[in-house]
Structure 1
Amino acid sequence: MEKIILASNSPRRREILGKFIEFEVKTHEINEIKDEEYPPQITVMGLAYEKGISVAEENIDSIVISSDTIVEYDGKLLGKPKDRDEAKDMIKSLSGKTHNVYTAYAIFKISENIKYVDYEKSEVKFYEFSNVDIEKYLDTNEYADKAGAYGIQGYGALLVEKINGDYFNIMGLPIAKLSRDLKRLFGISLW
């Protein structure tokens, strides 16, 4: 079995991928600049690539997987909030509205000159909620370190009216699509 490295600190990505395959975690910090000049899928694919390329270059015989998630609403890219106030603004702006979640992943194996990047998009519609509901959600501190200031797999599930697309994409790793690419590129089955 080939050595697989996940270039991500995300506990959600580790949890999702860990259900299917063994891997190591190695990361390098990057400057996560989200440029609204580019379409969201281009931005998120660039960030996923940046997160993985330096790890891949240090582990040329390993398969390296990296990923990034952003939320887009009304042309604005919502990354991880810097504090509670920014999280409140994000959640309030999404109340009663539909937004898009983009997760990109990059797959590398430098020794075989493989550098592959793709993404998935899901739509999420939030219920309308009061300021009291927003404060209760923020009191959970779940918003920290999450694109769009919520985690659908936790208390954030109470915000969601419906989704259109891949649930795991919203969590941070579109595992079904990634599985198909690992099979196609390396013959690796997650079954």
Structure 2
Amino acid sequence: VEDPKSYVIRMAESKARAIAGQVHPDSLVIGADTAVVDSTAEIGAQILGKPASALEAVEMLQRLRNRTHQVYTALAVLRVIDGSMVTDMCSTDVAMRNYTDEEILAYVASGDPLDKAGAYAIQHEGFHPVENVAGCYANVVGLPVCSLTYVLSNLGMPPRADIARACQADLRYPCPIYQNILRGEE
């Protein structure tokens, strides 16, 4: 069984390489992969991907209910012209609230969880499954922009804007770790 961190890095790299031949040679290609991981599983850390059915979405949400899990996102930025690639991975602990079966069924009936890793979207307007986030909120949404800023900076292409400030303003979340990420410490 592949370690979840290795898995998301491998998938992000694979996604970046998959389209490298379809873009201009001067391009940068960004590959990303996010996995929801239940590390309290009796069988060890288990990746919860996108549910294959409504029933599987219900089962995932019941499994995550009132527990803490991890969200891992790996980024792979490929410079097409020379094949150089820089990767980074962000990890966030997510504590789910004790939502009811009725809330689960209503959310699953909306169709929203069927294309989400772990069968939920933290930012969903009607179903607020998360009680607490320890780490990068943007990671749970699906793109840890401070990690992307770090990777681009390592390629000698730091963004001109203050991405960390813009992210926090947009998400209305005072990120406790953004400075560590920008220094490559997370």
Using structure 1 for the length normalisation, give the TM-score. Answer: 0.76
Among 112, 116, 123, the alignment partner of 2:93 is 123
How far 1:110 moved relative to its partner? 2.6
Confirm whether residue 147 of structure 1 aligns to residue 122 of structure 2. Answer: no
Aligned to 1:51: 15
Aligned equivalents of 1:180, 1:58: Cα separation in 2: 25
Aligned to 2:29: 64
1:103-159 per-residue CA deviation (whole Å, 9 max, x = no partner) reads 111100131331122210001011112211111221221102100000111147611
- Residue ranges of structure 2 left out of the alignment (5+ in a row): 162-186
Equivalent positions of 1:37-186 (< 5 A) are 37-59=1-23, 60-73=25-38, 74=41, 75-155=45-125, 158-186=128-156
How many aligned residue pairs are there?
A: 155
Aligned equivalents of 2:102, 2:77: Cα separation in 1: 42
CA RMSD of aligned residues (A): 1.5
The answer to whether the Cα contact below 8 Å between 1:179 and 1:190 also exists between their aligned partners in 2 is: no
The answer to whether the Cα contact below 8 Å between 2:29 and 2:80 also exists between their aligned partners in 1 is: no
The runs of 4+ residues in structure 1 deviating greater than 3 Å are none
How far 1:39 moved relative to its partner? 1.2
Aligned equivalents of 1:179, 1:80: Cα separation in 2: 27
Aligned equivalents of 1:185, 1:52: Cα separation in 2: 15
Aligned equivalents of 1:43, 1:80: Cα separation in 2: 15
The answer to whether the Cα contact below 8 Å between 1:64 and 1:108 also exists between their aligned partners in 2 is: yes
How far 1:58 moved relative to its partner? 3.3
Aligned equivalents of 2:157, 2:63: Cα separation in 1: 43
Identity %: 33
Aligned equivalents of 2:34, 2:64: Cα separation in 1: 17
How far 1:177 moved relative to its partner? 1.4
The answer to whether the Cα contact below 8 Å between 2:86 and 2:155 also exists between their aligned partners in 1 is: no
